[in-house]
Amino acid sequence: MAPVEDGDARELICVQVAVGVAPREVRVVSLSVPEGSTVRDALRLSGFLGTGAGAAVNPVSGLNEDALASGAWTVGVWGRKERPGHVLRDRDRIEVVRGLQVDPKEARRVRYRAQGRAARG
């Protein structure tokens, strides 16, 4: 996305980008982007989205265009899954999360079984 120039008549809108970088750790950045910007544009401006598999300055390991396309990372706006080309509105909150590694139901079953064994003996 090109930077906003003085002659550009588009209004700026405020958005937030929240990225789950690790379990229980979320980084949030507030941005002003030109009206008509997409989720992808905001991710690039935030600095979270690397440009390739070996992005040098990317603060979030593995977050790049390829990872978004493959589903390793999921993007949503206000908790609703969206595509990177989704056009943003003022005060939108973009949320980027990793895909689940373990099915939550199965993890609960494993914990329950382990607690049962510990209680018995």
CATH at 66: 3.10.20.30
What CA–CA distance (Å, rounded) separates 96 from 111? 28
Residue 32 lies in a domain: yes
pLDDT at 6: 53
- pLDDT band, residue 53 (cuts 50/70/90): very low
Whether the predicted pLDDT of 119 surpasses 70: no
Residue 112 lies in a domain: yes
User: What are residue 38's DSSP bridge partners?
Assistant: 87
**For the chain, what is the domain count?**
1
Residue 41 lies in a domain: yes
Q: Is 41 exposed, middle or buried (0-12, 13-18, 19+ CB in 10 A)?
A: buried
Residue with the bigger pLDDT between 7 and 45: it is 45
In which domain, by residue range, is 34 found?
12-120
Residue 58 lies in a domain: yes
Tell me the mean pLDDT in the region 31-60.
77
Whether the predicted pLDDT of 83 surpasses 50: yes
Whether the predicted pLDDT of 40 surpasses 70: yes
Residue 5 lies in a domain: no
